[in-house]
Structure 1
Amino acid sequence: MNIFYKFLKNILNILFFNTCKVCKKHLSEGFLCQDCWKDIDFIENPICIKCGIPYKFEINKDALCQQCLSNPKIYYDIARSVCVYAENTKKMILDLKYGDNLSIAKNIAFMINIKFSNIIEKCDIITGIPSDKETLRKRKFNHSCLIAKHISKLTKVNYNPIVLAKIKKTRKQSSLNVEERVTNLKNCFSVLDKDLVSKIKKIVIIDDVFTTGTTFNEVSKVLKKYNSNIEIVCISFSRALKFNDK
């Protein structure tokens, strides 16, 4: 499918059709059909107070999961996700990232805002996980920053796309094991405006999927280097409950 055809297809869909973002069924309103809404597994309490992973049983509301208890080097303050990474949410994310369906970023932002506006509105700045220059040049947009920008419009929290930069090309995290993911992202993020970061009290960082938390943790580590008191909130649209989900 060439670039012109993709562009024309998206314009026609916007002007003449309203379709479910998952199954593509025609809709009179909204962006998901009733069946696809039902299939989304929203994450609810009880969850780990730190990383936000859901428990399968009732537990103290301030409890940490085993991974957070055993890992002293988690640099973000909290991480939260809207829903479980599954077939329906995967389709939305892939269609946004590789299908050039940019309207999905707005839909994801809407869902994040409904779920976490009370957290986001207490932050000074919102940003997305940065892309390296080669990826940005090929894709023409950064999906995480696009989602963050839409959330900013909904919450009125200041959006800043250049707080962080990804300064080197890395392998796809989805192809690596846990240890390789950490090594892969080591020293690949940088703070662009150190003076700005030193003054931020609370920042929210947006991404599409939380798998092991390595990406969120690496950018948080860089931010804490220049402001040890900064409070970092990481929010993803979806959360992989098994390592091999992504």
Structure 2
Amino acid sequence: MNILSRLVNLVYPSKCSFCGKLISFQKSGINICSECMDKIKFCASRKRCKVCGTPLGNPRYRFCQSCFRKAKSNICTYYNGITAAVEYDRNSKRGILNLKHARSLSSVNTFSNLITAMVKNDFGGVNFDYITAIPPRRQRMKEIGFDQSGALAKKTAKLLSVKYYPNLFKRIRQTSKQTDLSSFERQQNLNGAFGLKGNSDNIQGKTILVIDDVTTTGATFNECARVLKLSGAKAVYCAAIATTEKNNGDRDSFT
């Protein structure tokens, strides 16, 4: 470690973005201690659903059960792809909660760098026109006063050298908390919940990357992608810090 790095460590000690442990200054901007590096399940190394990008419990499967059922029921998927950096479990949950409540710039840097790496890995050939974020629920903003998805989108846009488009969406109506609902209820909860805040002419023929902190069923991303596609967007890709593992699927019948 050089003298400058030592001084930075003394004045601005770095903390692991997942557990909060003090660590050495990281030039990469990804602050993760060695213990969490071993515990966190990174999605890049996992077999993932071809539609929603979530890790599959059985590596023989190509699609999660949720996407398989949606396809059989002719439920439309509007997004072109979803990617996430890590699996959502008790280890990653600590870091995401810290991001929300501590408003940690270090955590924003860490998670934005992880998201950027996955976007390059999964959507490397895509040229994005804009990067934007899922708008927060009004109640959540009242509770914590911090838009973590907006902060992640702004930093990710900088890392990818893409224009950041703040406040692209508006919430037409308030929704219930998604974590309390089933997969079907989540989609029903979000139907018609979002609209464009500005003129749709700005996104005609554009390719857009939408950022959120956590994705589970992909319902929020899908509703926002629907709004963008119906307003003239050419393609919509999505990225999050974390996603839940899907344990069920179908090997062959969904192609």
TM range (shorter): 0.7 to 0.9
TM-score by length of 2: 0.80
Amino acid across the alignment from 1:24: G
> Per-residue CA shift, 1:147-200, capped at 9, x if unaligned?
010011111011101221123222211112222212222211001231112231
> Would you say how many aligned residue pairs link Structure 1 and Structure 2?
226
Change (3 A) 1:178 1:48: closer
Q: Among 198, 205, 210, which residue is 2:210 paired with?
A: 205
Match of 2:219 in 1: 214
The alignment status of 1:35 with 2:35, answered yes or no, reads yes
Correspondence for 2:176: 171
Query: How many angstroms apart in 2 are the aligned matches of 1:185 and 1:116?
Result: 25
Q: CA deviation at 1:133?
A: 4.2
Question: What is the match of residue 183 of structure 1?
Answer: 188
The aligned residue for residue 21 of structure 2 is 25
Give the conservation status (yes or no) of the 8 Å contact 1:83–1:237: yes
Letter in 1 for 2:100: K
Contact 1:163 1:197 in 2 (8 A): no
1:1-246 equivalences in 2 (<5 Å)? 15-30=11-26, 31-43=31-43, 44-55=45-56, 56-58=58-60, 63-71=62-70, 72-117=75-120, 119=123, 122-193=127-198, 194-200=200-206, 202-227=207-232, 230-241=234-245
* Matching residue's letter, 2:98: D
**Deviation by residue 1:177-230 (Cα, 9 ceiling, x = unmatched):** 222212222211001231112231x11111111111111111111112112x62
Cα distance in structure 1, aligned partners of 2:104 and 2:179: 22
Q: Is the 8 A contact 1:132 1:167 kept in 2?
A: no
Identity of aligned residues (%): 31
AA in 2 matched with 1:184: N
Query: What is the Cα deviation at residue 65 of structure 1?
Result: 3.8
Paired AA for residue 18 in structure 1: S
Gaps of 5+ in 1: 1-12
**Matched residue SS, 2:209:** strand
Distance 1:130 1:199, change over 3 A: same
Counterpart in 2 of 1:9? none
Q: Structure 1 stretches (4+) deviating beyond 6 angstroms? A: none
**Corresponding residue SS for 2:229:** helix
Q: How far off is 1:32 after superposition?
A: 1.5
Deviations along 1:46-68, one digit per CA (max 9) or x if unpaired, are 32222112232246xxx444432
After the TM superposition, which of the residue ranges 17-26 and 103-112 deviates more from structure 2?
17-26
TM-score by length of 1: 0.82
- In the TM superposition, what is the alpha-carbon distance from 1:137 to its structure 2 partner? 4.7
Moved more, 90-99 or 117-126: 117-126
Amino acid at match of 1:20: C
SS of the aligned residue for 1:199 comes to coil
Contact 1:132 1:168 in 2 (8 A): no
The one-letter code of the counterpart of 1:22 is F
Partner-residue secondary structure (3-state), 2:211: strand
CA-atom RMSD in angstroms: 2.4
Greater relative CO (CA pairs within 8 A, separation 6+):
2
